[in-house]
């Protein structure tokens, strides 16, 4: 009787062991996962899978977020490890990653040398104040990674900071951005390196100094330069993935417009950041108390109209605006400076869930204009950014003076439908030079294409969104989007980076930015109030369950083998 029972038990054990071994072998050959989360946070997108499965050579990812740091950054590190493990599951031997502690085992001098080397590659360190038993301790961390492929390298920023968000929300945004950040970097580095991007020159556009931080931010993922449309050969212009026209002030010639048009017809992407009015706050503050705002004659109206937009010759006053310092009096020989709202510096707040402006801070503008949409075939238009409902449109010519701040705005005059200031246009554009002769000044043989390939362009009715302020003390450049008066950083820099990614990406990879992970935070007040209760639940209940299971197991075995 006992012998038969033992044989039966042995067979059951053998069967279970064989099944377990078979399952382990199969799991090594095939990868699968069941994601029970509502937002599918642990599921890679088809775009990422396709990029990883089509790798031809190894990609090496070095992550510098390692070491002893606060729990929030540990969560970001662990999320990065989980994501890269998934990447390796689909990329196989062509994905290799490792985590490096940038401070571990190094002297202070070696650490500084290492940090300088990373900075030269586009990776910056961050200083944290960490609470310890002895007080606050400064700790340097590097929330970044370096993607290497075939002798090329692209940095990846892991921490996505955003004005006005709590540390938990910042980390949550960073976690949900990881897949896009790594997938985009891998795609760029494995498809011929960084795409070429150029700012135009020759029309008093923003200077190199004013564009310094914009170019620095873009240089992580792009080869950034400047191009003169009047001189560049068209064959070289075609190699540029994205053209940025940043606040021109003088007219474009017909030959230059022709090159822009045919560049677009051949699938080129253009970011127009244009001021139609020549008002400038710095000019008003430097000795002149007022300025007559007049039209900027750029000779682009007909071309933009053909593509489906019209930038109007007006100014927007918005009660949702930035502030500027003005002298409000003199006490004891010292000027009294006060920050006051300046209606011509609207702060544009994103209100739609488009990948370009997702999780975006407000964008600082200066003397923006309104935009009208023109109906044209085969072009989809998306209004990305608008003013607040508390705006007013001023026709030009008009006098702009600092004295305006002394007037209390009448709310009744600032109630109007939100005005468009930024449009995205996608589709097949009709050429502005169809049935027209090639302009004088074009010496190359360029055939006129009457209709474009499917392509994209973005229009912003303010060129100052790309301009960094310059310190009057030492000439240093402030970060793009930083307001030196309000001492606040706006979303201009991230907006530019998102625009570049969206316009140059042909696989809609940027749609990964729409992936959201719900932030489910514990009630800290409840945890403190019921601390003892939850400690008992977490320590006593598991032991109690084990004891109950052991008792029932003992009773069951006693009854089964009693005979």
Evaluate if residue 415 carries a pLDDT over 60. yes
Evaluate if residue 129 carries a pLDDT over 90. no
138: how many CB neighbours lie within 10 A of its CB? 8
* pLDDT on residue 188: 83
* pLDDT on residue 221: 78
- pLDDT, tens digit (0-9, with 9 covering 90-100), for 231-282: 999 999 999 999 999 999 999 999 999 999 999 999 999 999 999 999 887 7
With beta carbons less than 8 A apart as the criterion, state whether 137 and 68 touch: no
In sign, the C-alpha dihedral spanning 11, 15, 16, 18 is positive
Which comes out higher in pLDDT, residue 221 or 26? 221
Question: At 144, which helix (H) or strand (E)?
Answer: strand 144-149
Evaluate if residue 336 carries a pLDDT over 90. no
Strands (E), 202-308: 223-228, 242-246, 269-273, 290-293
* pLDDT on residue 206: 96
Which comes out higher in pLDDT, residue 71 or 136? 71
* pLDDT on residue 165: 59
Q: In sequence order, which ranges of 249-324 are alpha helices (DSSP H)?
A: 254-265, 281-285, 301-307
Which comes out higher in pLDDT, residue 164 or 469? 469
Unique residue bearing structure tokens 């020159």:
201
* pLDDT on residue 515: 61
Give the angle 365-429-501 at the CA atoms, nearest 5°: 50
- What pairing do the DSSP bridges indicate for beta strands 482-483 and 488-489? antiparallel
* pLDDT on residue 162: 58
How does residue 292 score in pLDDT terms, banded at 50, 70 and 90?
A: confident
- Read off the pLDDT of each residue in 52-67 and give the average, rounded to a whole number: 90
Range in 52-61, 112-121, 385-394, 464-473 the model is least confident about: 112-121
* pLDDT on residue 10: 72
- pLDDT, tens digit (0-9, with 9 covering 90-100), for 135-164: 566 677 888 899 999 888 888 888 876 555
- Read off the pLDDT of each residue in 526-539 and give the average, rounded to a whole number: 76
Domain ranges in the chain are 27-188, 194-514, 532-563
User: Which letter, b or e, does each residue of 224-237 get, where b requires 16 or more Cβ atoms within 10 Å of its Cβ?
Assistant: bebbebeebebeeb
Nearest to 405 by CA among 305, 326, 329: 326
CA–chain centroid gap for 381, Å, is: 21
pTM to 2 decimal places: 0.76
User: What CATH code would you report for 194-514?
Assistant: 3.40.50
User: Which letter, b or e, does each residue of 170-194 get, where b requires 16 or more Cβ atoms within 10 Å of its Cβ?
Assistant: bbbbbbbbbbbbbbbbbbbbbeeeb
Which comes out higher in pLDDT, residue 44 or 200? 200
- pLDDT, tens digit (0-9, with 9 covering 90-100), for 419-452: 999 999 999 999 999 999 999 999 899 999 999 9
- pLDDT, tens digit (0-9, with 9 covering 90-100), for 294-325: 999 999 999 999 999 999 999 999 999 999 88
With beta carbons less than 8 A apart as the criterion, state whether 405 and 325 touch: no
Range in 225-234, 241-250, 326-335, 552-561 the model is least confident about: 326-335
Nearest to 80 by CA among 169, 178, 181, 172: 178
With beta carbons less than 8 A apart as the criterion, state whether 177 and 442 touch: no
Evaluate if residue 2 carries a pLDDT over 70. no
What's phi and psi for 400, nearest 5 deg? -110, 120
- What pairing do the DSSP bridges indicate for beta strands 196-201 and 223-228? parallel
């Amino acid at each position: 009787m006992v012998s038969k029972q033992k044989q039966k038990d042995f067979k059951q054990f053998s069967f279970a062991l064989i099944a377990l071994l078979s399952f382990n072998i199969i799991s090594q050959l095939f990868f699968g996962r069941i994601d029970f989360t509502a937002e599918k946070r642990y599921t890679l997108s088809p775009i990422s899978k396709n990029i990883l499965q089509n790798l031809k050579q190894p990609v090496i990812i070095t992550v510098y977020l390692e070491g002893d740091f606060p729990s929030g950054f540990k969560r970001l590190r662990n999320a990065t490890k989980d994501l890269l493990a998934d990447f390796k599951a689909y990329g196989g031997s062509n994905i290799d990653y490792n985590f490096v502690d940038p401070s571990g085992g190094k002297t202070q001098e070696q650490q500084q040398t290492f940090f300088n080397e990373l900075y030269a590659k586009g990776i910056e360190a961050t200083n944290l104040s960490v609470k310890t038993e002895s007080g606050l301790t400064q700790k340097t961390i590097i929330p970044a990674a370096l993607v290497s492929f075939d002798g090329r390298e692209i940095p990846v920023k892991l921490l996505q900071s955003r004005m006005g968000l709590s540390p938990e929300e910042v980390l949550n945004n960073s976690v949900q951005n990881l897949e896009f950040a790594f997938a985009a970097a891998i795609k760029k580095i494995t498809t011929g390196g960084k795409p070429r991007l150029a700012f135009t020159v020759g029309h008093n556009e923003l200077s190199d100094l004013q564009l310094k931080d914009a170019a620095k931010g873009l240089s992580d993922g792009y080869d950034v330069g400047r191009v003169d449309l009047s001189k560049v050969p068209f064959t070289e212009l075609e190699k540029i993935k994205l053209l940025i026209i940043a606040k021109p002030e003088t007219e474009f010639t017909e030959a230059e417009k022709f090159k822009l048009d045919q560049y677009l017809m051949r699938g080129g992407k253009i970011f127009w950041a244009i001021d139609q009015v020549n008002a400038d706050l710095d000019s008003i503050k430097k000795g002149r108390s007022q300025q007559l705002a007049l039209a900027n004659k750029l000779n682009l109206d007909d071309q933009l109209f053909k593509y489906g937009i019209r930038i109007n010759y007006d100014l927007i006053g918005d009660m949702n605006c930035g502030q500027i310092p003005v002298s409000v009096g003199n006490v004891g020989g010292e000027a009294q400076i006060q920050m006051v709202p300046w209606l011509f510096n609207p702060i544009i707040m994103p209100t739609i869930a488009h990948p370009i402006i997702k999780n975006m801070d407000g964008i600082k503008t200066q003397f923006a204009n309104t935009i009208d949409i023109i109906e044209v075939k085969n072009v989809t238009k998306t209004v990305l950014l608008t003013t607040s409902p508390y705006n007013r449109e001023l026709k030009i010519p008009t006098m702009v003076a600092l004295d305006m701040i002394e007037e209390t705005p009448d709310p009744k005059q600032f109630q109007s439908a939100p005005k468009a200031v930024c449009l995205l246009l996608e589709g097949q554009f009709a050429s502005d030079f169809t049935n027209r002769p090639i302009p004088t000044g074009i010496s190359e043989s360029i055939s006129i294409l009457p209709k474009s390939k499917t392509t994209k362009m973005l229009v912003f009715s303010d060129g100052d969104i790309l301009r960094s302020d310059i310190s009057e003390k030492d000439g240093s450049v402030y970060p793009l989007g930083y307001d030196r008066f309000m001492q606040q950083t706006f979303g201009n820099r991230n907006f530019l980076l998102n625009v570049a990614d969206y316009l140059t990406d042909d696989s809609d990879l940027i749609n990964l930015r729409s992936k959201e992970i719900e932030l489910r935070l514990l009630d800290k007040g409840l945890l403190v109030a019921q601390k003892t209760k939850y400690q008992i639940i977490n320590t006593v209940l598991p032991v109690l369950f084990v004891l109950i299971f052991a008792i029932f197991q003992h009773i069951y075995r006693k009854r089964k083998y009693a005979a």
